[in-house]
A and B are shown apart, each in its own frame.
Chain A
Amino acid sequence: MDLFKNVKNGFIEMIFGPRWTYIATVRTFLQNFLSITLADNKWADVISMAASELLENAVKYASEEGTKIQVEHKKEDNKLFLHVENFSYQDNIKILQKEIEFITSGDPQEVYLKKMQEAALRTDGGSQLGLARIRYESNASISFDVEGDLVKVTVIFDLK
Chain B
Amino acid sequence: MNKFGIENVITEKATVELADIANGIKVTFTGDIDVQNPEPIFVPFFEQIHNKVIQNSVKYVELDFSKLTFLNSSGIKTLIKWITKVTPLPADQKYRFKIVANSEITWQETSLKMLAMLAPGLIEISIK
Contacts and interface: CB of A to CB of B under 8 A. Distances in A.
A, B assembled together: yes
Interface residues of A, number: 30
A77 to B, nearest CB: 22
A56 B72 CA distance: 9
Interface stretch (A86-94, A95-103, A111-119): A111-119
Interface in A11-25: 20, 23-24
B80 interface: yes
> Main secondary structure on chain A at its contact with chain B?
helix
Interface in B15-38: 32, 34, 36-37
A120 B74 CA distance: 11
A125 interface: yes
B70 A27 contact: yes
Contact of A24 (B34, B73, B105): B34
B110 interface: yes
Interface of B: 13, 32, 34, 36-37, 39, 70, 72-74, 76-77, 80-81, 84, 105-107, 110-111, 114-115, 117-118
A49 B80 contact: no
A34 B70 CA distance: 17
Given A20-B36, A24-B32, A125-B39, A113 B114 contact: yes
B73 A120 contact: no
A139 B105 CA distance: 18
Contacts, number: 75
A60 interface: yes
Interface stretch (A1-9, A62-70, A129-137, A147-155): A129-137
B114 A112 contact: yes
Given A24-B32, A24-B34, A52-B70, A129 B77 contact: yes
Nearest to A117: B118
Contacts of A126: 74
Nearest to B108: A45
Contacts of A136: 110, 114
A74 interface: no
A75 interface: no
Contacts of B76: 116, 119, 127, 129, 133
